[in-house]
Structure 1
């Protein structure tokens, strides 16, 4: 009899999960101090943005939708300083708490969010510790204790840079969590991709069928094939006039493959230096191919005109899902790759004086 009851419980549990997956998610909440007229919800999947908005009534809200797999999401207001980042999945989810303390808002109904909240707590505790040291450093500096302040700032800097280790530990601690997949993709860089491959190998087998896992696999592979010393990866993309441009057409010359965007401040700040170096060395065989991670054509073209960039510029206007950026493992900009006439990547992420010195070495 007991086994029959357990079987029935398991059956109805599976039935409920399947039903939730079919109907999608319902995110409801009642937050103290929530007085704006509208709330907005945003998430994306494979580069496709999903946006929703609704009118708030007496501090309550209810968003409905459907996700292919758990997705990082944000709910925010344009009228007050309120936003909350969380994982949404096809389930009945509930927000409780206050807009005055977003970090203390409790979100129930999502196992993935439950796991992600563990990471949020670890990060919050780490940042709180770091800020306490920073504030102490500022206080002793005002008292004229410069040496002690410098020591505290060094301690703060070490803690600040140690946040990646917390994310890495979360990946290790939760190998069966979809949230760990998201963190692994976020954590993986050109400098640690081999270690990332080892962490990925330890992820639960059932997670490796997800699109997020496939994205991580591709990212690690792309980082490997675009290392210094490797042959360049060819691609074709349209320029601002709609003409197809192929990277391999630059073979026989030095070309700086420059990833940027109109909204990227550091990218735009580097453009005057790029103009100067281009003018200095273009007649000696130096070229630049700009790849914009913009998704709005008008903003891209206005930036091209304002910054007066004379070299070829291409974009597929897919933002962070730019095909060339994905091929080269680019997840932060500015980023660049210097390619030799023989088609080898000979340097990467050269900016300012580092770029100038490299070009002066090549073109004495």
Structure 2
């Protein structure tokens, strides 16, 4: 009889547990000037955006959503049209947001999310950076600045932004959702932080990964960040490779150190095979935030002068081969990749100190100038064609 009683009690507890509602969080508030607009609640998961709920706003602009509380801190966003507010659910159950439709993404108040204000600050800084980048690209298109000036100014902007974010939002509190959020900003589709190729960026990722792993070791974000850090440590650790053997007489005769690397189809492409053409030898990292602007400038040159015997031989130092293949899929010039990445022997031999770096080679396979020796690459190119 006692055994039956125990089993019955256990069964009742199981039923009650199954029937009891799971923990919920609520996001509520008011959006002025958005009558008849649809507001959406979306989850920003590792695999992408997941729609959770939506509702039509009335003249009062009041809204309220309820969703299951995440097992570990997660990221969500409210969206109206293409306007977005990002926030995290980390410790409280009710988040309140007040906003106006016209300034929905930039001028809102948030309560109940410990890191809500810091996430807002980071978002606004990123938006300001994107605006500055767009202005520089527009100046380049209008001929107001040179490609070299563009690269220099972009590098200054990105360096200042990253130093600010690392010291004021990541290293100061690496155990927060704001710190994790700060690791993944993009400019023109490119990540600003590059933990696979940049040791300083890797330090920021490692700091957050360590804190996240201590508190939420089984969370998908913890595992993903840990894997990124491990891969970054392997890629930025200088490998033991043989020194590139370059015959001195070859350098003296041709002025060119040959390069033999494979393109995305696996075909070996030799730099010296381009004799008879004017070649721009370019070392780059596609995961670099300046890459999009650099490729834009190269595309402009290629479209203008390819028909006159101009070719680009572009060497990628990207650690992520898949990313490289995706980035170059539609490019018309020769794209190869050095698997040694930032420790490329070719880059060392050509004395590449920073990325991107480019060199002009004349029709006789002779190295003429490097990028930092010429103010106007196009003008010099014209004299060689």
TM-score, length of structure 2 as denominator length: 0.46
Q: Which has the larger radius of gyration?
A: 2
Structure showing the higher helix proportion among its residues: 1
